[in-house]
Structure 1
Amino acid sequence: MSLWKRSLATQLVAFLLTALVVSQGLTFLIYWQDHSKALDDAAKSEFFSRARTMTLLMETMPAPFREQALLASETRDSRFWVTREDTRDPAAWRQSAVQQFSRPLENFVDLGQFYNGGPAAQQLPDAQAVAAKNVGEGWEVPFQSLWALPQPVRYAYFEGTRGYGFVIRLDDGSWLNAAFYFREPGGWWTSTSLASLGLTALVLALIAVLSANHIARPLRHLARSAEALGRGENLPPLVEEGPTEVRRTAEAFNLMRDRLQRFVQDRTKMLAAIGHDLRTPLTTLRLRAEFVEDREVQSRMLSTIDEMRGMTEAAIAFARGETADEPTREIQLDALVASVCDDLQDLGYPVSCVEVAAVSHRCRPDSLRRALRNIVENAVRYGGEARVRLRHTPSFVEIVVEDSGPGIPEAMQEMVFAPFFRLESSRNRDTGGIGLGLSIARSAARRHGGDIAFVNGAGGMQAIISLPRQAEAARPVPRSRLFDRRSEAPAALVRPALSRRLN
Structure 2
Amino acid sequence: MISLWNKSLAARFIAVMLFALALSQGISLLLFSTERDEALFRSAKAEFLSRCASVAKVLESTPSDVHADVLLASGTTYSRFWISHDFPEDAASWRRDAKARLAEPLPTVQKIANGVSEPVPPHAPETAGPTSVATEQLPAWGDLPAHAWPLSRSAKFLYLNQPQGMGMGLTVQLADGTWLNTAFSKKIINGMWTSRSLISLTVTAIILSICAALIARGMTGPMRRLAVAAEALGRGESVPPLPERGPDDIRQTTEAFNLMQARLQRFVEDRTRMLAAIGHDLRTPLTSLRLRAEFVSDDETREKMLSTLDELRQMTEATLAFSRDEAVEEETRNVDLTALVGSLCDDIAEIGHDVTFTEAPKIGYRCRADSLKRAVRNLIENAVRYGERARVSLRANAAAINIMIEDDGPGIPVDTVERVFAPFFRLEDSRNRETGGIGLGLSIARDIVRHHGGDIVLANTGTGLRATITLPQTQPVDKARKASKAEPVPNQPLAWGNSPAE
Q: Please tell me the TM-score bracket, short chain as reference.
A: 0.7 to 0.9
Q: Which moved more, 1:172-181 or 1:386-395?
A: 172-181
- Contact conserved, 1:388 with 1:399, CA < 8 A, in 2? yes
Note the alpha carbon deviations across 1:433-454, whole angstroms, 9 max, x for none: 1111111111111111111111
Q: Cα distance, 1:455 vs. partner?
A: 2.2
Q: Separation in 1 of the partners of 2:48 and 2:188?
A: 17
Please point out which of 295, 300, 322 is paired with 1:296. Answer: 300
- CA 1:313/1:366 → structure 2, altered by over 3 Å: closer, same or farther? same
- Aligned residue identity for 2:390: A
- The reply to whether residue 12 of structure 1 matches residue 30 of structure 2 is no
Indicate whether 1:484 and 2:490 are aligned: yes
Q: 1:84 to 1:333 in 2, by over 3 A?
A: same
Q: Which residue of 1 aligns with 2:144?
A: 142
Distance 2:89 2:332 in 1: 102
Q: Against the structure 1 CA distance between its residues 56 and 389, is the aligned structure 2 distance closer, same or farther, given a 3 Å change threshold?
A: same
Q: Counterpart of 2:320 in structure 1: which amino acid?
A: I
SS of aligned partner of 2:18: helix
User: Pick from 411, 414, 418: which aligns with 1:410?
Assistant: 414
Q: Which residue matches 1:51?
A: 52
Q: 1:308 to 1:187 in 2, by over 3 A?
A: same
Give the superposition deviation at 1:365.
0.3
CA 284–235 in structure 1, closer or farther in 2 if over 3 Å, else same: same
CA contact (8 A) 1:134 1:157 kept: no
Could you tell me how far apart the structure 2 residues matched to 1:107 and 1:364 are?
A: 96
The one-letter amino acid of 2:266's match is R
Q: Output the CA distance in 1 between the equivalents of 2:361 and 2:318.
A: 36
Alignment correspondent of 1:432: 436
Q: How much has 1:186 moved relative to structure 2?
A: 4.6
Please say which of residues 199-208 and 337-346 is displaced more in the overlay: 199-208
For 1:457, the equivalent position in structure 2 comes to 461
Equivalent of residue 190 in structure 1, options 170, 187, 194: 194
- Distance change >3 Å, CA 129–CA 449, structure 1 → 2: farther
**Structure 1 residue 148: Cα displacement:** 5.3
Match of 1:473 among 450, 469, 480: 480
1:376-415 alignment to 2 at 5 Å?
A: 376-415=380-419
Give the letter aligned to residue 231 of structure 2.
E
Single out whichever of 50-59 and 24-33 deviates more from structure 2.
24-33
Q: Please name the residue that 2:115 is paired with.
A: none
Q: Is the 8 A contact 2:104 2:122 kept in 1?
A: no
Native 8 Å contact 2:279 2:316 kept in 1: yes
Q: Contact 1:134–1:158 at 8 Å: present in 2 too?
A: no
- Cα distance, 1:213 vs structure 2: 1.6
Q: Where do 5+ consecutive residues of structure 2 fail to align? A: 110-120, 495-502
**Following TM superposition, by how much is the alpha carbon of 1:262 offset from its aligned partner in structure 2, in angstroms?**
0.9
407-416 or 382-391, larger mean C-alpha shift: 407-416
Q: Evaluate the alpha carbon distance shift between residue 437 and residue 97 of structure 1 in structure 2; reply closer, same or farther with a 3 A threshold.
A: same
The answer as to whether partners of 2:138 and 2:161 remain within 8 angstroms in 1 is no
Q: Counterparts of 2:31 and 2:364 in 1: how far apart (Å)?
A: 63
Mapped contact 1:379–1:401 kept (Cα < 8 A): yes
Aligned residue runs from structure 1 range 74-223, under 5 A: 74-106=75-107, 122=124, 124-127=126-129, 131-133=133-135, 135=137, 137-144=139-146, 146-147=148-149, 149=151, 151-160=153-162, 161-162=164-165, 163-223=167-227
What secondary structure, in the 3-state scheme, does the structure 1 residue paired with 2:276 have? helix
**Offset of residue 337 of structure 1:** 0.6
Query: TM-score, normalised to structure 2's length?
Result: 0.88
CA distance in 1, matches of 2:321, 2:150: 112
- Aligned AA (2:474): Q
3-state secondary structure, aligned to 1:216: helix
Matched residue, 1:499: none
Q: Which of 287, 290, 297 is equivalent to 1:283?
A: 287
| CA distance, structure 1, for counterparts of residue 123 and residue 150 of structure 2 | 37
Identity of matched residues, %: 48
Tell me the CA shift for residue 182 of structure 1: 4.3
Conserved in 1, the CA contact under 8 Å of 2:102 and 2:124? Answer: no
Provide the C-alpha distance between the structure 2 equivalents of 1:134 and 1:215, rounded to a whole number of angstroms: 67
State the 1:359 CA deviation. 1.2
What SS does the corresponding residue of 1:452 show, helix, strand or coil? strand
Give the match for residue 41 of structure 1: 42
> What pairs with 1:230-249 in structure 2 (closer than 5 Å)?
230-249=234-253
Q: Secondary structure at the match of 1:362?
A: strand
Q: Is the 8 A contact 2:392 2:403 kept in 1?
A: yes
8 Å contact 1:238–1:250 — kept in the other structure? yes
Corresponding position of 1:272: 276
Q: 1:458 to 1:145 in 2, by over 3 A?
A: closer
* One of 413, 420, 431 as aligned partner of 2:424: 420
Question: Residues of 2 paired with 1:346 and 1:455: CA distance?
Answer: 28
Q: Give SS of 2:366's match.
A: strand
Secondary structure at the aligned position of 1:209 is classed as helix
Residues in 2 aligned to 1:434 and 1:128: alpha-carbon distance in whole angstroms: 109
* TM-score, normalised via structure 1 length: 0.88
* Structure 1 gap ranges (5+): 109-118, 489-503
How far apart, in 2, do the equivalents of 1:137 and 1:391 lie? 89
Kept in 2: contact 1:265–1:323 (CA 8 A): no
Contact 1:322 1:444 survives alignment (8 Å): no
Q: What secondary structure sits across from 2:220 in the alignment? A: helix
Q: Deviations over 1:19-40 (max 9, x none)?
A: 2223334445555444433322
- Kept in 1, the 8 Å contact 2:345–2:355? The answer is yes
**Per the alignment, in what secondary structure is the counterpart of residue 147 of structure 1?**
coil
* Structure 1 SS opposite 2:259: helix
State which drifts further: 273-282 or 457-466. 273-282
Take 2:267 and 2:491, find their aligned partners in 1: how far apart are those partners? 30
Alignment CA distance shift 1:156-1:270 (3 Å): same
* 1:444 aligned residue: 448
* 2:66 paired residue number: 65
d(CA) in 2 for partners of 1:307, 1:122: 112
Structure 2 distance, partners of 1:107, 1:265, is 103
Q: Is the 8 A contact 1:366 1:485 kept in 2?
A: no
Give me the whole-angstrom Cα distance separating, in 2, the residues matched to 1:120 and 1:65: 23
Aligned residues: 477
1:127 to 1:350, Cα distance in 2 relative to 1, 3 A: same
TM-aligned CA deviation for residue 465 of structure 1:
0.7
Separation in structure 2 between the aligned mates of residue 456 and residue 200 of structure 1, nearest angstrom: 64
Deviates most, 272-281 or 413-422: 272-281
Asked whether the equivalents of residues 40 and 182 of structure 1 are also in contact (C-alpha less than 8 Å), the reply is no
Aligned-residue offset at 1:130: 6.0
Question: Retained in 2: the 8 A contact 1:101–1:124?
Answer: no
Opposite residue 91 of structure 1, the aligned amino acid is A
**2:103 touches 2:125 (CA, 8 Å); kept in 1?**
no
